[in-house]
Amino acid sequence: MRGMLLGRCGPAAEVHGAFTSAGFISDMAAPKFAAQAIRKTAELGWRPVHLLGVGSSPIDAVLVPAGVENSRGVISASSFKETGNPPWVDDEGMKSWVAFMDRYYPEGDKKSTFTTYGYSAAELLVPVPRQCRDDISRENIMRQAANLKDVRLDLLLPGLSINTA
């Protein structure tokens, strides 16, 4: 089976792929361009196996703009819990995130991947000053940020943790 890796901008890659009869796309493009790729392959009537990388898979930034119907069959990856997904409604991490949103950003979109990402990115920084203790020099901050071990985040899928080295 022939395949292609997308990371380029614009529809030329999809048109080329359709004419070469590639059987799959590994799409690592930015959200805007991943949405364009999904839309263009549907317009061409070309239905390869379409794999989206983590950065290309936000529902609100990729699949909705591409058209939900055009996105059917696309395979995406994520390491985070999806807000609004029934299995996570009673999850303690999800409850913490909802409480944070209600208190600090009530007008924020709770279905947006970007609000969950922002919360998680900020949560990842919390251990750094704790590990610095009394030494808040730039060098120590960088050293501690590069030395995170088994950091669990509220919205990270169960069993996953973050380590830096």
pLDDT for 3 equals 53
Average pLDDT over every residue of 74-80: 90
- Are 120 and 153 in contact by the 8 Å Cβ rule? The answer is yes
Q: What is the arrangement of strands in the sheet containing 49-52, beginning at the earlier edge strand? A: 3-6, 24-27, 49-52, 75-76
- Are 116 and 155 in contact by the 8 Å Cβ rule? The answer is yes
Band (98; pLDDT cuts 50, 70, 90): very high
DSSP strand pairing (49-52 vs 75-76): parallel
CA-nearest of 126, 105, 128 to 116 is: 105
Q: Of residues 5 and 90, which shows the higher confidence score?
A: 90
CA distance 136 to 5: 43
pLDDT digits (tens, 9 = 90+) for 14-34: 656 665 677 888 888 889 999
With 60 as the cut, is the pLDDT of residue 36 above it?
yes
pLDDT for 69 equals 94
Average pLDDT over every residue of 125-136: 96
| Sequence spans of domains, the chain | 3-76, 80-165
Angle CA 31–33–39, to nearest 5? 105
Question: What are the two backbone dihedrals, phi and then psi, of residue 86, each rounded to the nearest 5 degrees?
Answer: -50, -40
- Are 29 and 8 in contact by the 8 Å Cβ rule? The answer is yes
- Are 59 and 39 in contact by the 8 Å Cβ rule? The answer is no
Q: Of residues 83 and 135, which shows the higher confidence score?
A: 135
pLDDT for 29 equals 87
pLDDT digits (tens, 9 = 90+) for 63-74: 999 999 999 999
pLDDT for 115 equals 93
pLDDT for 154 equals 98
pLDDT for 104 equals 98
Q: Of residues 7 and 59, which shows the higher confidence score?
A: 59
| Axis-axis angle for helices 31-44, 12-20 (nearest 10) | 40
Q: CA dihedral defined by 50, 43, 22, 8, rounded to 10 degrees? A: -70
The two tokens of residue 151 are: 């950091």
CA distance 80 to 97: 12
With 90 as the cut, is the pLDDT of residue 123 above it?
yes
- Are 119 and 155 in contact by the 8 Å Cβ rule? The answer is yes
pLDDT for 5 equals 54
